[in-house]
Amino acid sequence: MFSKLLKIGELAHLNHISVGTLRHYDEIGLLKPEYVDPETNYRYYSIEQSALIDIIQFLKNFDFSLDKIDSLLNSSNIDLLYKEICSQKLILTEYKDEIDRKISLIQQFKESIDTYVQNKNKNELEILKFNQRRIYTYSISKNIYEMTVDEYEYYLREFKIHLAKAKIPLAYFNRVGSIMDKNYFINKQFFSNELFIFLPTSQNINLKTKNIPAGNYATYFCNSFEEELPALNTLYDLIKSKNLTVTGDYICEVVYEIPNKSKNNRKMFIRLQIPVSL
């Protein structure tokens, strides 16, 4: 024979919920006991109140606040319920998109570490095949190859402020690269005043972006901002010695960077690359 009323602990056990949670629900008016003993202040509940607990637990799955759940349960307006469900679905979809973006970024970060570990001691030209890559570019007023490190940092701040104003997530501001027109490279007149960040193809940004074409790229590595210009000369000479034909713009890709805290400087591992025909 089932008891007509249940002690708070009994109801908690039957519904896989804590006694403290039931007490809190009572305090905020979400779920009041069926009866409170005036002498002992013990709370008693009916088994039928489990249905209310079920729907509260169900709605909590969707991250509704307890205040919102209380409001929904106090209303018999199905249109209001439908509206709130649709609104919460949109919020959860935005959360999912944010989580997916973070997973994608951390996977890219992992791959950049792998690239660094595998190539940090490499000192030779290598032909690699890349898929199409999407970038967002920003023009600056000075040639990168005539800058000091401090000047470079100030131009990066300028780019970062621009990205923030354009509402582009600053999470993408972790591997800023640069582009050089192929004619400057071919003529060995190294000039670049265009910075860029990589963007996922799925990122919806209402700004003009560019695509780096897929294809074969001659690649070479260096370990710092200061080393890029000498490495550019080396890359140029190696391409000439192997009779490769340059087919597109030069890309400076910062593969990996973790600043040295003790030295307060930027530690960069750079992949120099330019499309070539074999």
Q: In this predicted model, what pLDDT tens digit does every residue of 13-38 receive, in sequence order? A: 999 999 999 999 999 999 999 999 99
Pick the CATH number of 105-277 from 3.20.80.10, 3.40.50.880, 3.40.50.2300, 3.90.1510.10: 3.20.80.10
pLDDT > 50? residue 167: yes
What is the model's pLDDT at position 146? 96
What is the model's pLDDT at position 212? 95
What is the model's pLDDT at position 177? 96
CA count, 13 A, side-chain hemisphere, 277? 3
What is the model's pLDDT at position 201? 78
Please check whether the two domains, 6-74 and 105-277, share a CATH topology.
no
pLDDT > 70? residue 166: yes
What is the model's pLDDT at position 1? 40
Reduce the DSSP state of residue 271 to 3 states and report it.
Answer: strand
Cα dihedral angle (86, 91, 92, 96), rounded to 10 degrees? 130
Q: What does the alpha-carbon distance between residue 35 and residue 3 come to, in Å, rounded to a whole number?
A: 14
Identity of the residue numbered 10? E
Q: Which CATH class is domain 6-74?
A: mainly alpha
Contact 26, 32 (CB under 8 A): yes
The ranges assigned to domains in the chain are 6-74, 105-277
pLDDT > 90? residue 232: yes
Q: In this predicted model, what pLDDT tens digit does every residue of 181-192 receive, in sequence order? A: 999 999 999 999
Q: In this predicted model, what pLDDT tens digit does every residue of 245-261 receive, in sequence order? A: 999 999 999 998 876 66
In this structure, which long-range contacts are made by residues 122-127, counting pairs with CB atoms below 8 Å and at least 24 apart in sequence?
Answer: 122/221, 123/221, 124/220, 125/218, 125/219, 125/220, 125/235, 125/238, 125/239, 125/242, 126/218, 126/219, 126/220, 127/216, 127/217, 127/218, 127/219, 127/276, 127/278
Q: What does the alpha-carbon distance between residue 222 and residue 122 come to, in Å, rounded to a whole number?
A: 9
Q: What pairs with residue 221 in β-bridges?
A: 271
